[in-house]
Copies of this chain bind each other. A is one copy, B any other.
């Protein structure tokens, strides 16, 4: 696991929770077999929840939640399955009910294309029951505080009205395009980016093709090259801000985001900026990444929702 998971570990520890953190190599998603084994060993059910990040923002690795759910079922362990979907919701396919997730957490500022400020919790019956028995002190974060007023259409605190209007519009936009088309668009952009990376002769941080993220790609630089220098050049020369490597990946990777309100030519311009920045930073690459991405994008079938033109 990577840095988003790491932050959550720190947070939980501070709140007095005992965390059994399973370190990963930052290049693979959560391993269902390891989870299954750990739960099987926990005979007295001391483990209350398995917390995973669906799409690791720091590494570009997407864990396979359905496989994880099956592993937990095989272990016949009552722990809750809690999933962070901050950088995947509305960009990658995700199914809270169908996949048997107990708690899903999301935010407004990525795939929902809004400013930060709204967070969403999808909470199943089992998780709600557990929360009512939990002794962890909480007030603002308490689900019951929100659920009561929500039932009658109210919000217990000053509501972020402007963001709620924005959310309505964002959902209209997603529905107008069609969720299937949204996911296909991100899949197309993920694949085009990975083809560019390979054509440059660089390595994708995510080592398992089944776990490639379609909302962002982390790119490993050859030893001796500073990813932050590349980022600095790209920002300074081309006014584009790439993601930095987080934690132990700092300086070793940079991250290309391709999520939310994004289209083929915005991605193409992004990859052009990366290709020029790599060259200017002296990273030894083949300048064939943009070309490989364009070949793929031009060949891809881009679904265009019929409803689009009807709006005008």
Contact = CB atoms under 8 A, between A and B. Distances in A.
A287 B296 CA distance: 13
Interface stretch (A122-130, A134-142, A209-217, A221-229): A134-142
A140 B276 contact: no
Given A115-B161, A115-B162, A294 B302 contact: no
A220 to B, nearest CB: 22
Interface in A31-83: none
Given A270-B265, A276-B298, A160 B15 contact: no
A191 interface: no
A96 interface: no
Given A137-B16, A298-B280, A160 B265 contact: no
A143 to B, nearest CB: 13
Interface of A: 10-11, 14-16, 107, 109, 115-117, 137-140, 142, 158-163, 236-240, 263-266, 268-270, 272-273, 275-276, 279-280, 287, 290-291, 294-295, 297-298, 302, 304
Contacts of A273: 264-265, 268
A298 B198 CA distance: 21
B15 A137 contact: yes
6 contacts: A115-B161, A237-B264, A265-B272, A269-B272, A276-B297, A276-B298
B279 A236 contact: no
Contact of A269 (B107, B139, B266, B298): B266
A45 B289 CA distance: 63
B291 A287 contact: yes
Between A158, A263, A266, A269, the greatest number of chain B beta carbons within 10 A of the residue's beta carbon is seen for: A269
A236 to B, nearest CB: 7
Contacts of A107: 158
A268 B263 contact: no
A269 B159 CA distance: 26
A239 B116 CA distance: 27
Contacts of A272: 265, 268-269, 272, 290, 294
A14 B138 contact: yes
A266 B273 CA distance: 10
Contacts of A238: 263-265
A109 B237 contact: no
A41 to B, nearest CB: 28
A137 B14 contact: yes
A310 to B, nearest CB: 13
B294 A160 contact: no
Given A137-B16, A238-B264, A291-B287, A160 B276 contact: no
A265 B275 contact: no
Nearest to A268: B272
B279 A287 contact: no
Question: 8 smallest A-B Cβ distances: which pairs?
Answer: A269-B269, A268-B272, A276-B298, A265-B269, A14-B139, A11-B139, A116-B158, A115-B162
